[in-house]
Amino acid sequence: MDKILEGLVSSSHPLPLKRVIVRRVVESAETPLSQAQCRAMFALSTRLVLQGPDPFQRQVGRQVLEAYGRYHRAEFEAFFNRGLVLGLLQRGYGELSNRDPAILDYIQAGLRLIMSCPSVLELFELLQVEALRLVCERPAPPLCARLCQLLGDFPQCLPRGRKLSLAFCQQLVRSIAHFQSQGSREAELRLYVSQVTQVSGLLRSVWKAEPDTLLPSLQELFAVISAADTSFEPSVALASLVQHIPLQMITVLIRSLTTDPNVKDASMTQALCRMIDWLSWPLAQHVETWVIALLKGLAAVQKFTILIDVTLLKIELVFNRLWFPLVRPGALAVLSHMLLSFQHSPEAFHLIVPHVVSLVHSFKRDGLPSSTAFLMQLTELIHCMMYHYSGFPELYEPILEAVKDMPKPTEEKIKLILSQSAWTSQSSSLPSCLSRLSGKSETGKTGLINLGNTCYMNSVIQALFMATDFRRHVLSLNLNGCNSLMRKLQHLFAFLAHTQREAYAPRIFFEASRPPWFTPRSQQDCSEYLRFLLDRLHEEERTLKALSSTKTSESIMNEESQKQEAVHKAQVFAEAPCMGSGERTLIEKMFGGKLKTTICCLNCKSMSQKEEAFTDLSLAFCPPTSLENVGPKCVERSEVKDDYVVQTNTSATSPAGETLLNNLEVNGGCDTIMNEGTIKDFSTEPNSENTTNSELSKVQDNRDMSQRLVGKNTLSVTDLLNYFLAPEILSGDNKYYCEKCASLQNAEKTMQIIEEPEYLILTLLRFSYDPKCHIRRKILDNVSLPLVLELPVKRATSSLAVVSGGWSVGVEFSDIGENLAKKLKPSGADEVTCPQLVPYVLSSVVVHSGVSSESGHYYSYARNVTGSGPSGLCHQSTALSLVSPQDKLLTEESPCTVVENELDTEMPREWFLFNDSRVTFTSFQSVQKITSRFPKDTAYVLFYKKQNSTCGFNTSSANGLWVNGDPPLQKDLMDAITKDNKLYLQEQELSARTQALQAASASCSFRPNGFDDNDPPGSCGPTGGGGGGGFSTVGRLVF
């Protein structure tokens, strides 16, 4: 029969005839045959299966083998023995190599035929050994896939015992690492992918059956991809294994990997780069999950050098994967994480910027729903990066044009995404006893390091930084080549906005801005520092403008090069947006207002008026005893200028009225209480005259206000401002010298705000001197802070004989009533001014913690308030109004009631608490309740922003493009920040490695934070702020 069959299959008869005869031969397998005949048929069929020259002969061989093996099982068992199988696996068959997959096909067919025979057990043992040997020889993908298929069908052939099983898994991992596709056509690639899937599927089965083999297999996998051998590049096919690793193991594996001291940086970098390459592998699941997990794990242990190197090496490759739909989801996830976490420098983002537009256009051309969804995600990512790295309009304008039709995320969403994605925001996986080396807090804000009782400066700088319009003006100034204080403030603001550090040390700015009479490392008055700082900035800008003007005029006669130099210097401050009209400085535009003081002689009815500039208003507390006895406003000290008693403390005056009056204050106190002004006079004219002690009294009509003030449990800022603006009578020892009467006369004095500032700064005069007890004390009264207030501004509607900065004397109004002194109505006020209520919203609050002026601590509450105010804060109907003191001295509605109503609409996480290095989220309730919770902590300096005003500040066209609210930074500033961010990451990494080495012996008995939850937010040294330095002279009084 075998001879007939052999002759038939090799004959030239037609193929249909051959098939008919083969069918007859297969059917005759049921007939009894001798052992020799059976063996001849098995030998022939084996030869046809393994060496058949064409598919027909190989098919005939399989059919005959299966038929005769089934009906003559005993004979086949004797034929298909250990010797045959071992020979096939080790030597092959004739010219057929032992590494040909056909060998395994034949063995698998034979195993199926003898599954019920006892000898199969011997073959299983043989195959267990041979399978391990085969994988150790690094079989090609077809052979390995065929072996895995055999082992999958016959798991009894898998190596047994932990040692052999583990070795098999590890060697199979290494075999996959050697896989390479033999073709580039789609059919060949699909076959290659299916073969790899077959092998990884077997590993999954083994891991599931024997979990102990999983971790060693993964260790072997990491050893392969972390190898530094440049002559061997592991196959991307290893990506197929990732989908079979349980996601529940991510935390444990990543922690073990990132904290293992035996894993060198070079190995980790190599491994991570190769894992990112795996994103190219189609159909693999969870690759992006593991890549992102490893990136986060490295960030948590501050291994930033690896992250920087890998990101810069692979960011373009990851971006290019977005062109391929099969791997696009994973590539976009990794790209998003890499870009959003790389926040210390624009370098990584700018590597992909040139390729964004073409990809966007490709997505648009597709028109597929999936492409549109990916485009929306990509657009959001790009907007986040352009917001974070503004200042490159030439790079970003084409992108903005390409995505102009796509939705843009809100600024709040962008900030949230950025704050959650930074490397320094990743939770640490080190033991809990190690202090976490963190970057910015979840607020995204940067603290200021206390350089030794410098909390007075830190609190003021944070309040100025959070004054959004002022910050944007400062950052937009072109100050290249200028070493001014404004340049240093710009540098400080830029670092606060863009540094990765949790807190920044403002040493350079501190040394440049510290008043010369401030003793280093001793506590100072933040209000005094603020006035000095604003005055310095103002005077500096005036000087530079005057200098640039002179240079410009001289350059007309000079050569072209000198002309360009002068023009450049003239633009130092003039190039900023919203410089407005005239020669007003930035400080005047932001914080400058004007106050008009009018004195009316009650005898001859003549009036004297004077206008003065201010940058802050100092609001006094009038003691209840004074209120009850002499009315709501008492002045113990006054300045006499030009025979006129002025209730101001000026730090800068000029005949032209151009220099700022840094402080306007009402010295509230009578009999035993006296507020002392110790502000240095930087530019006061030498003809300033002596001061006199005086006492002012009010008539009975105004005592109603006094009684209401005394009866209130809690004063409000409204009350203090009303008291500041209330008219007063100059009488007794404080009579006014009237030039027209040529004698001392009783007079009425009124103060009116005639020009409101963009930012209204209010200082609450909490420190007073008791001459009887010879001590300085702090007024700890709680003051209610309205979220929204309305400031009465009296703008002139008719021309008066008023000289700016001087006095207009002898102005008379014939229609003034005789009972003016009794009514305390300002003479002629209705004829010359019209009241307008200007709304303001609370921006910042500087708090003083302590019981005296000689010690304590400053910290500040603040929020971002733009020109139009934050969302939901325009409570026009419930605003706390400061009405005209001539019409109504105190609002009837309780401020506390209105504030409580406002709290209901407060935006969540809108307020920040800046306490030196620490920045945390807080709420307006905390601001209002700080004094009731901690009696020593009281509001001291308040910043209010004028509502619905942008000062002409265009945030969309500065230098062609503003991507976010803040202007783009100058190149030198961005370079400095990038350099410092890299240095910071290196510092973090070094500290983390040092702590990791000390972790085993570190004690965990200490409290990581060192703070008591019941402590007040303020702390500045062991003595609660003074730190032993304290105030050394009377010049340290806080007002």
H-run or E-run covering 398: helix 393-402
Q: CA 108 → CA 47, 102, 120, 375, 748, distances in Å?
A: 16, 10, 12, 50, 115
Q: Which residues pair with 844 in a beta bridge?
A: 862, 943
Query: Strands 617-620, 759-765: parallel, antiparallel or unpaired by DSSP?
Result: parallel
Q: Which of 157, 455, 622, 670 is catalytic?
A: 455
H-run or E-run covering 992: helix 971-998
Give the C-alpha separation, 155 to 208, whole Å: 13
Residue 324 has which token pair? 């391929």
H-run or E-run covering 761: strand 759-765
Q: Is 931 exposed, middle or buried (0-12, 13-18, 19+ CB in 10 A)?
A: buried
Tokens 């085993």 appear where? Answer: 1000
Give the C-alpha separation, 840 to 656, whole Å: 29
Query: Strands 775-778, 767-770: parallel, antiparallel or unpaired by DSSP?
Result: antiparallel
Q: For Cα atoms 558, 559, 561, give the angle at the middle one, nearest 5 degrees.
A: 120
Give the C-alpha separation, 645 to 454, whole Å: 37
Give the C-alpha separation, 90 to 109, whole Å: 18
- Is 857 tagged catalytic? yes
Q: Which residues pair with 857 in a beta bridge?
A: 849
Nearest to 786 by CA among 716, 858, 715: 716
Phi, psi (degrees; rounded to nearest 5) at 226: -95, 0
Phi, psi (degrees; rounded to nearest 5) at 836: -140, 130
Question: Who's near 596: CB < 8 A, 6+ residues apart?
Answer: 609, 610, 611, 612, 751, 752, 753, 754, 794
Residue 652 has which token pair? 């800068």
Question: Is the Cβ–Cβ distance between 79 and 41 less than 8 Å?
Answer: no
SS3 call for 644? strand
Question: Who's near 146: CB < 8 A, 6+ residues apart?
Answer: 101, 104, 105
Phi, psi (degrees; rounded to nearest 5) at 302: 60, 35
Amino acid making up residue 877: S
Nearest to 607 by CA among 884, 835, 888, 829: 829
Displacement of CA 521 from its chain's centroid (Å): 32
Give the C-alpha separation, 890 to 887, whole Å: 9
Question: Is the Cβ–Cβ distance between 792 and 835 less than 8 Å?
Answer: yes
Residue 296 has which token pair? 């986060």
Give the C-alpha separation, 748 to 553, whole Å: 49
Instruction: Classify the phi-psi angles of 671: left when phi > 0, otherwise alpha if psi is within -120 to 50, otherwise beta.
Output: left
SS3 call for 882? coil
Of how many residues is the chain composed?
Answer: 1039
Residue 169 has which token pair? 């898994």
Q: In what side-by-side order are the strands of the sheet with 607-614?
A: 728-730, 747-755, 593-601, 607-614, 808-811
Buried b or exposed e, range 750-775, using 16+ CB within 10 angstroms? bbbbeebbbbbbbbbbbbbbeeeeee
Question: Who's near 477: CB < 8 A, 6+ residues apart?
Answer: 486, 490, 572, 573, 575, 576, 586
Q: Which of 601, 857, 875, 1020 is catalytic?
A: 857
Q: Is 161 exposed, middle or buried (0-12, 13-18, 19+ CB in 10 A)?
A: exposed
- Is 601 tagged catalytic? no
Catalytic residues: 455, 857
